[in-house]
Homo-oligomer: A and B are copies of this chain.
Amino acid sequence: MCGIFGITGHAEASNLTYLGLHALQHRGQESAGIVASDGHGLRAHRQMGLVADIFDAPVLAGLPGQSAIGHVRYSTAGGSQLKNAQPLFVQYAGGQCAIAHNGNLVNAAALKEKLEADGAIFQSDADTEVILHLLARSRQGSFEQKLVEALRKVEGAYSLLVLTENKLVAVRDPLGIRPLVLGRMKEGAYVLASETTALDLIEADVVRELEPGELLVIENGVMRTSKPFAEPPRLGRCIFEQVYFARPDSVLFGNSVYEVRKRMGMQLAREQPAPDADLVIAVPDSGVAAAIGFSQQSGIPYDVGLIRSHYVGRTFIEPQQSIRHFGVKLKLSAVRHVIKGKRVVVVDDSIVRGTTSRKIVKMIKAAGALEVHLRISSPPTKWPCFYGIDTPSRQELIAASHSTDEIARYVTADSLGYISIEGLGEAVGDPSRGSFCTACFSGQYLLGEMAGSAQEANKLTA
């Protein structure tokens, strides 16, 4: 998963991009970068690490100009190396061009092979670079035409920001898989971001989400919109953004993320009640909204039973001796006096491999809980994502091969309940899920010949 941000028409373009990336930091902590244009040329700074560590005043002063795009990366396709940090930035016959991409292309490997056979030399392992080579090789006349020709050849999820000396282009793939929202500052500058929280931070007004398949070009303060791609039969907005990825203060696909998650918790309480429990607690932070919803629906009081550390660093020295549940303990700790002697409902957003849930349940029991009833505000995660969420392979997804009862036993919970896929549809306001991609829960991939694509994607990321 990644986050992107762009702005044009503002004297402090790179400063505001820096702030926007800070607000999107939850979407990727591996690397970050900004490319700015002063109308004559582009300048870039990209580095491994967190936004606040990478950029300081001298670095930002070295990125002058009225337009900038930025990117925070959580590796999906392409290894964890500086050369894969985005925005990618190249010089080609048409001039300078930078690109920031959120999503994942499913036919990148095949396109790369073909381009290399035709003499292309790739700088990175990122699937995104395929778009640049297609662009550089296009025989179309204008920059937009070249870009559209390139994008017509790629398949998959992409919310893109593209910067040239004098243009900022924003595109969202026809299925609308990843979010991208347009904002405007009081002074008139246009802003684009993965989530509304980035606009809120810099006090830009939210104008609207880009439509699936929409291409916006902003040049000299003028914005043009077009829908140059064939319309797909249905939409595929990523439902997992609602469940887990987006920040709760964002508005996503028209809904308050927090409210949707709270509704998931209420629905979960109706579908999977725990009538004898004394207490509802959340796995912070992503489970809090659903836990409060569960509490309000069920009437079981909500309390804080797990505390999250603010200082989780990147690498930890594991003690050799067996400290139980070690990894999770650095991140979470139980409030013994809240939990002790209680029958506890624990609400979390999802179970992936099951190992973390197991550690959490055991930690709560070690703190004195009499019973632990685990409630999950999404359906069982059974299928990998090929569109940009960093899920493990099917073999590692516990729900792909185990029943709910088996999982409950594995995680040592006294009971386990997931929301139904129908209930999730209700909570996101689309009971038929007709506008969402639910492939991670249902296996119904939206892009045809998914088997083939999936293989390709696997090959590329291997």
With A15-B319, A200-B333, A315-B56 known as contacts, the answer to whether A303 contacts B307 (CB < 8 A) is no
**Minimum C-beta distance from A203 to chain B (A):** 5
**Minimum C-beta distance from A12 to chain B (A):** 5
Residue contact B121 to A123, C-beta cutoff 8 Å: yes
Residue contact A316 to B52, C-beta cutoff 8 Å: yes
Chain B residues lying within 8 Å of A90, measured Cβ to Cβ, are 121-122
With A50-B311, A289-B304, A336-B249 known as contacts, the answer to whether A55 contacts B317 (CB < 8 A) is yes
Residue contact A335 to B92, C-beta cutoff 8 Å: no
**Minimum C-beta distance from A197 to chain B (A):** 6
Query: Is A215 in the interface zone, CB < 8 Å from B?
Result: no
Q: Of residues A60, A118, A197, A304, which shows the largest number of chain B Cβ atoms within 10 Å of its Cβ?
A: A304
Query: Is A18 in the interface zone, CB < 8 Å from B?
Result: yes
Residue contact A329 to B25, C-beta cutoff 8 Å: no
Residue contact A330 to B119, C-beta cutoff 8 Å: no
A275-324 interface (Cβ within 8 A of B) = 285, 288-289, 292, 296, 301-304, 307, 309-317, 319-321, 323-324
Stretch among A129-137, A232-240, A374-382, A452-460 lining the B interface: A129-137
Closest to A255 in B: B337
Query: Is A179 in the interface zone, CB < 8 Å from B?
Result: no
Closest to A113 in B: B93
Name the prevailing secondary structure of the A interface residues: mixed
- Give the number of copies in the complex: 4
Interface flags, A97-141, vs B, CB<8A=1, else 0: 000000000000000010011111111000000001100111000
Query: Is A449 in the interface zone, CB < 8 Å from B?
Result: no
Within the assembled complex, what's the spacing in Å between the Cα atoms of A302 and B304? Answer: 12
Residue contact B120 to A123, C-beta cutoff 8 Å: no
Query: Is A202 in the interface zone, CB < 8 Å from B?
Result: yes
Within the assembled complex, what's the spacing in Å between the Cα atoms of A317 and B17? Answer: 11
Chain B residues lying within 8 Å of A323, measured Cβ to Cβ, are 201-203
Query: Is A353 in the interface zone, CB < 8 Å from B?
Result: no
Within the assembled complex, what's the spacing in Å between the Cα atoms of A116 and B91? Answer: 9
A177-218 interface (Cβ within 8 A of B) = 187, 197, 200-203
Residue contact A324 to B121, C-beta cutoff 8 Å: no
**Minimum C-beta distance from A451 to chain B (A):** 26
The 3 closest A-B pairs by CB, nearest first: A52-B313, A119-B137, A256-B337
List 18 extra interface pairs beyond A52-B312, A249-B307, CB under 8 A.
Answer: A12-B319, A18-B317, A19-B316, A26-B310, A52-B314, A55-B317, A90-B121, A93-B117, A93-B118, A119-B133, A119-B138, A120-B136, A201-B323, A201-B333, A249-B336, A256-B335, A256-B336, A292-B304
